[in-house]
């Protein structure tokens, strides 16, 4: 790469339905690196594998990128509900570039760097079975590499199906000079004569990615480590075309806590699932940034805003070893960002989660919004995901079942328990209906005096029926005067 080359980074997802958290991590690093270095961020849709294509994926991808705050300079965008493109290197969707790939495959065929292969899948299966028996690596045996152009033309004219393969040079070394992994050496003898164009006229990933990265003037190719074995094939193609190489950077794998490759079986892998559960975009972005990267020694902080990440991001901080996806850490980060929200913002984004709860429809419409705000005010500090709102405190929404024994604090007598509840009852009755959290706190704490448990435990038990709950004062505040008094009365009736 020459120093005067413009810095252009591409994100190249395949539209296969949902956005994997690994894809989010890759596009985030793409964005951080481009933005930090004043470069351009290009979005390209890699849809050469039509069998994996899922309708609506591109719209969904654009939506997820917007949600995560990742903004690209070029590529597909949604305008007035339809997908268009911006930028001068389009089209940015591979299925719209088939002619370009054909021209480039023809160039390689002319130069003898590629050849037509007419082998049927049955023949290839037999070949592989034999190789397996002989304990040889599965590689195309180059039967069709020897065909002369006359034979080839005849077979094409006769309508035989064919693919095009690249003719990988033998006995050479290919060095991938990687920003994360340093120099990684591959022997061309271990590299198969890869198919570059399929029988349906579609290019394979290998050809399309090289042609596009070159024609779109991409300076940095950043992608997951699973693509590293493909990179020598790409380098061979760059050399065949006589093109300069981009700078490669392969990011560490994402792992489950048991160190296996991150998979659906052990948790969610789609960004959409995290979004649906109520993870905030700032939290997911912050968390994902640290999957395989660290700002460096001496930096203890784990909470970084997007702008701080841009400022700190560097490939020297990207690790080689796999990064473990630790959901507890994500919950901690999410909880941090939830705490930062104003009550009104929290209410606005949590409302849809409330609406999905079983109890929501039965709530008193007139007081519902106020009630939800109070629940949020009390739960905000402990909430890890927005979808869990209310889940720890079901007694806010449904009357608890309470037994008299449960109302008793330690070895207190019935009389003491009744006294405590009656005292709470009379204080609440005397208190104005529009009580605030603060004034409720001051009157009840004053009433509790020194021996808090004696007074507060029966109140908590009556209001919640639960051993663990927010403070009884907060519970009374959330429930409101009428409900709180009703529950105390019910508790008294047990004696
Ligand atoms: N299209 C590939 C994917 O979705 C990306 C490969 C690359 O970045 O070169 O994973």
DSSP 56-98: THHHHHHHHHHHHT---SBEEEEETTEEEEESSS---BGGG-H
Q: What is the pLDDT of residue 232?
A: 98
* Alpha carbon distance 195, 198 (integer Å): 7
194 within 8 A of 204, measured Cβ to Cβ: yes
Domain assignment present for residue 442? The answer is yes
Structural domain boundaries, residue 43: 8-94+254-324
Task: Check: CB of residue 183 under 8 Å from CB of residue 177.
Answer: yes
- Measured by CA distance, the residue closest to atom 3 of ligand 1 is 13
Q: For residue 173, give the 3-state DSSP assignment.
A: strand
Which protein residues are within 6 Å of ligand 1, measured from CB?
A: 12-14, 46, 209, 223, 227
Candidates 261, 264, 451, 490; catalytic one? 264
Long-range contacts of 209-214 (CB under 8 A, 24+ apart): 209/12, 209/46, 209/234, 210/234, 210/237, 210/238, 210/241, 210/243, 211/97, 211/100, 211/101, 211/104, 212/10, 212/12, 212/44, 212/94, 212/97, 213/10, 213/246, 214/238, 214/241, 214/243
- Report how far residue 484's alpha carbon sits from residue 371's, in angstroms, rounded to the nearest whole number: 13
Number of domains in the chain: 4
The encoded tokens of residue 452 equal: 């808090």
Please identify, by atom number, the ligand 1 atom nearest to the C-alpha of residue 13: 4
The b/e string for 128-149 (b: 16+ C-beta within 10 A; e otherwise) is: eeeeeeeeeeeebeeebeebee
Is 259 in the same domain as 245?
no
Q: What is the reported pLDDT for 114?
A: 98
The answer as to whether 330 is a domain residue is: no
CATH number at residue 134: 3.40.50.620
- Answer yes or no: do 301 and 442 share one domain: no
CA of 47 to the centre of ligand 1 (A): 10
Query: What is the distance in A from the centroid of ligand 1 to the CA of 429?
Result: 66
Verify that 474 and 460 share a domain, yes or no: yes
The reply to whether 44 falls in a domain is: yes
Q: Would residue 149 count as lying in a domain?
A: yes
pLDDT computed for residue 4 by the predictor: 66
H or E segment to which residue 396 belongs: none
Query: Which of 251, 269, 286 is the endpoint of a domain?
Result: 251
Catalytic residue list contains 264: yes
User: Considering the domain boundaries, does residue 51 fall inside one?
Assistant: yes
Distance (Å, whole) CA 431 – CA 427: 6
- End of a domain among 234, 251, 268? 251
> Along the 495 residues of the chain, how does pLDDT read in single tens digits?
445 679 999 999 999 999 999 999 999 999 999 999 999 999 999 999 888 889 999 999 999 999 999 999 999 999 999 999 999 999 999 999 999 999 999 999 999 999 999 999 999 999 999 999 999 989 999 999 999 999 999 999 999 999 999 999 999 999 999 999 999 999 999 999 999 999 999 999 999 999 999 999 999 999 999 999 999 999 999 999 999 999 999 999 999 999 999 987 788 899 999 999 999 999 999 999 999 999 988 899 999 999 999 999 999 999 999 999 999 999 999 999 999 999 999 999 999 999 999 999 988 899 899 999 999 999 999 999 999 999 999 999 999 999 999 999 999 999 999 999 999 999 999 987 778 999 999 999 999 999 899 999 999 999 999 999 999 999 999 999 999 999 999 999 999
Read off the CATH number of the domain in which 422 is found.
Answer: 1.10.10.350
């Amino acid at each position: 790469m020459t120093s005067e080359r413009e810095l252009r980074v591409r994100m190249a997802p395949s539209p296969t339905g949902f956005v994997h958290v690994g894809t989010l991590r890759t596009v985030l690093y793409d964005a951080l690196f481009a933005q930090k270095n004043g470069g351009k961020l290009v979005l390209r849709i890699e849809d050469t594998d039509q069998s994996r294509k899922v309708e609506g994926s591109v719209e969904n991808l654009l939506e997820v990128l917007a949600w995560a705050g990742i903004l690209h300079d070029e590529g597909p965008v949604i305008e007035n509900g339809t997908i268009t493109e911006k930028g001068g290197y389009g089209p940015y969707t591979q299925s719209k570039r088939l002619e370009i790939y054909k021209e480039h495959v023809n160039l390689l065929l002319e130069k003898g760097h590629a050849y037509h292969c007419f082998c049927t899948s049955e023949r290839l299966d037999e070949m592989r079975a034999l190789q397996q028996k002989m304990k040889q690596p599965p590689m195309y045996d180059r039967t069709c590499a020897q065909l002369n152009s006359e034979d080839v033309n005849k077979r094409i004219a006769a309508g035989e199906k064919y693919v095009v393969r690249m003719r990988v040079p033998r006995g050479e070394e290919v060095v991938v000079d990687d920003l994360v992994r340093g120099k990684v050496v591959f022997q061309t003898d271990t590299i198969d004569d890869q198919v570059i164009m399929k029988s349906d006229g579609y290019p394979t990933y290998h050809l399309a990615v090289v042609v596009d990265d070159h024609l779109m003037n991409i300076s940095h190719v950043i992608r997951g480590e699973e693509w590293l074995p493909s990179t020598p094939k790409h380098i061979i193609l760059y050399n065949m075309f006589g093109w300069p190489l981009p700078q490669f950077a392969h990011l560490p794998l994402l792992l489950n806590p048991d160190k296996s490759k991150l998979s659906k079986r052990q948790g969610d892998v789609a960004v959409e699932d995290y979004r649906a559960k109520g993870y905030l975009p700032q939290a997911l972005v912050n968390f994902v940034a640290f999957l395989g990267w660290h700002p460096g020694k001496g930096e203890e902080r784990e909470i970084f805003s997007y702008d701080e990440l841009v400022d700190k991001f560097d490939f020297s901080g990207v690790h080689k070893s796999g990064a473990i996806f630790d959901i507890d850490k994500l919950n901690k980060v999410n909880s941090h960002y939830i705490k930062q929200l104003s009550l009104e913002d929290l209410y606005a984004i949590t409302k849809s989660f409330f609406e999905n709860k079983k109890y929501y429809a039965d709530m008193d419409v007139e007081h519902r919004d106020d009630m939800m705000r109070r629940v949020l005010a009390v739960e905000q500090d402990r909430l890890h995901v927005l979808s869990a709102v209310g889940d720890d405190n079901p007694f806010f929404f449904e009357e608890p079942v309470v037994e008299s024994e449960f109302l008793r604090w330690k070895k207190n007598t019935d009389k003491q328990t009744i006294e405590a509840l009656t005292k709470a009852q009379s204080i609440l009755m005397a208190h104005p209906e529009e009580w605030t959290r603060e004034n409720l706190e001051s009157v009840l704490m004053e009433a509790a005096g020194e021996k808090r448990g004696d007074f507060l435990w029966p109140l908590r038990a009556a209001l919640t029926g639960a051993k663990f709950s927010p403070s009884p004062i907060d519970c009374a505040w959330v429930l409101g005067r009428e409900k709180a008094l009703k529950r105390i009365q019910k508790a008294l009736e047990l004696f």
